[in-house]
Structure 1
Amino acid sequence: MNKIHDLGRVLVVAPHPDDEVLGCGGTMARLAEEGHAVHVLVATRGQPPAFPEEGVARVRAEMKKAHALLDIAETHELDLPAAALDTVPAAQVNAEIGDIVQAVSPDTLFLPFYGDIHGDHAIVFQAAMVAARPRHNRAPARILCYETLSETNWYAPPVTPAFIPNVYIDIADTLERKLDAFKCFESQVRPFPEERSVEALEALARSRGATVHLRAAEAFANIRQIVR
């Protein structure tokens, strides 16, 4: 892959609302601008009593506003329990995520990083990888892991997988849309210097861009690429 056009049909898998914007909001905006159909799968929903219904509804409304701003083609919402995926049989998680992957039939899958501190991220990654097994010629041609502020950097890299990006996508022209989409999540945005802040998100994009002589970029770990 050396052009964004090569990504083809895209499915971004997010454990929770806002992960997809934090990880690849600029890429999604750029793809949509260039005529690609970008689908998002949100795997979990907060369940009471841990997550009050009013709060869940608010986050979902924020997500829809952000996705409209990014011109997402379709948002697929599952009702798996947030912060409790480890209580659900793996076969059920695999089946529900697999059904969406099969229906969308993406050329490119964007997944949460398997080394994130939040257990839901690892489970969603694993389930999506099960769905993406190359058993036929419509298996995703490429699988990229994105980084999520406050999840990817907060585990224990000396003893857990470290996020080592090897793919960078130029988002200089769509960074502001990414930041605006994140601002839609008013319930989730934190004041700087907390990592899940607008300032930190912009700083990460500028840093990732400067790594490869771009004004702004999103960075990914390439898990698998099939050249046909």
Structure 2
Amino acid sequence: MESNQRLLVISPHLDDAVLSCGLLLAAHPGTVVCTVFTAPPAENITTDWDRAAGFADAFEAMRTRQAEDREALGLLSALPVHLLFRDAQYHASPGADELLTALSQIVAHAKPTRVLMPLGLFHSDHVMVANACLALMRRQPATRFIAYEDVPYRRMSGVVQERLCDLAKRGYAADAPHALDVPGTTQHERMKRAALDAYRSQLRAFGPEGQASLFSPERYWQLARDESSRHPQSA
């Protein structure tokens, strides 16, 4: 990838960017990582996932997870931006227009040449963010959008191909990018593993079996509007 490229990674949760794009981040210091769901609920609650991660309640969880994210991205020389939306487990997901407006503002400020977005696999938060990015892509025709395969959900049988078929039906073409530098050097692998280790609470929730699937090859898809599609649909 050309040295003058400015990357913006859109991450649903506080770990998704490193899980899915950690090698890319290691190779491109200065990348902006915008995480969408980083706010606690309006009133404190306790969820099964937060308990599994070792937290007493949601307020403690989000405070600690933000700190973990800053530590992890710091190890990769990436720049964190935290949007204050609440994820699905806190029962207060943002509206589509509200999310699109916030992401538009981030893009306007960062002025990226490439936006990396989740492919949008399985998890409702991931699908919501991916669909908002698709809408943003239509507003930003001069900016290249690249979808990353969401870890760990990409390991679920058939989910990647199902999503690609869905995108094709909606008028989006997905191809392997030709100019994306994702090195597999030992140095970058060490950097990614160190960054993943910073998400201590999330590794605890994944457990030993789940952790084994987290460090896997990164895969990306170049997205474009397919104007030849007979049935293009809005995101």
Fold conserved (TM > 0.5)?
A: yes
SS of structure 2 residue aligned to 1:95: helix
Cα distance between partner residues in 1 of 2:155 and 2:135: 25
In the superposition, the TM-score normalised over structure 2's length comes to 0.74
Aligned match of 2:209: 193
CA apart distance, 1:102: 1.4
Aligned equivalent of 2:66: 60
Unmatched segments (≥5 aa) in structure 2: 48-56, 166-173, 226-235
**Distance in 2 of aligned mates of 1:11 and 1:153:** 25
- The runs of 5 or more residues in structure 1 that have no matched partner are 206-217
Residues 24 and 39 (structure 1 numbering): CA distance in 2 closer, same or farther, change over 3 Å? same
In structure 2, distance between residues paired with 1:25 and 1:120: 20
The two structures have a TM-score, normalised by structure 1, of 0.76
Match of residue 52 from structure 2: none
Contact 1:66 1:185 (C-alpha < 8 Å) held by counterparts = yes
Distance 1:201 1:181, change over 3 A: same
Question: Partner residue of 1:151?
Answer: 153
Judging changes above 3 Å, is the alpha-carbon distance between structure 1 residues 223 and 71 closer, same or farther for their aligned structure 2 residues?
same
Cα 1:176–1:88 shift into 2, 3 Å:
same
Question: Which of 93, 99, 111 is residue 99 of structure 2 equivalent to?
Answer: 93
Q: Given the superposition, is the C-alpha separation of residues 158 and 171 from structure 1 closer, same or farther in structure 2, using an over 3 Å criterion?
A: closer
1:39 paired to 2:32? yes
Partners in 1 of 2:129 and 2:58 — Cα distance?
A: 23
Q: CA RMSD for the aligned pairs?
A: 2.7
- Indicate the structure with greater helix content: 2
Aligned equivalent of 1:213: none
Corresponding residue for residue 228 of structure 2: none
The structure that is strand-richer by fraction is 1
Residue identity opposite 1:175 in structure 2:
E
Rounded Cα–Cα distance in structure 2 between residues aligned with 1:85 and 1:147? 25
Deviation at 1:160, TM superposition (A): 3.0
- What's 1:132 paired with? 137
Q: 1:178 aligns with which of 192, 207, 223?
A: 192
Change (3 A) 1:91 1:147: same
C-alpha deviation, 1:144, in angstroms: 1.3
Q: Percent identity?
A: 21
Q: Secondary structure at the match of 1:11?
A: strand
**Number of residues of Structure 1 aligned to a counterpart in Structure 2:** 197
Does the CA-based 8 Å contact 1:110-1:144 persist in structure 2? Answer: yes
Partner Cα distance (1:158, 1:38) in 2: 26
Selected match of 1:82 from 78, 82, 87: 87
- The aligned residue for residue 25 of structure 1 is 22
> 1:97-133: per-residue Cα shift (whole Å, max 9, x none)?
111111111101111112x111111111121222232
Secondary structure at the aligned position of 1:80 is classed as: coil
Distance across 1 between alignment mates of 2:160 and 2:106: 35
Aligned pairs for 1:93-132 (under 5 A) are 93-114=99-120, 116-132=121-137
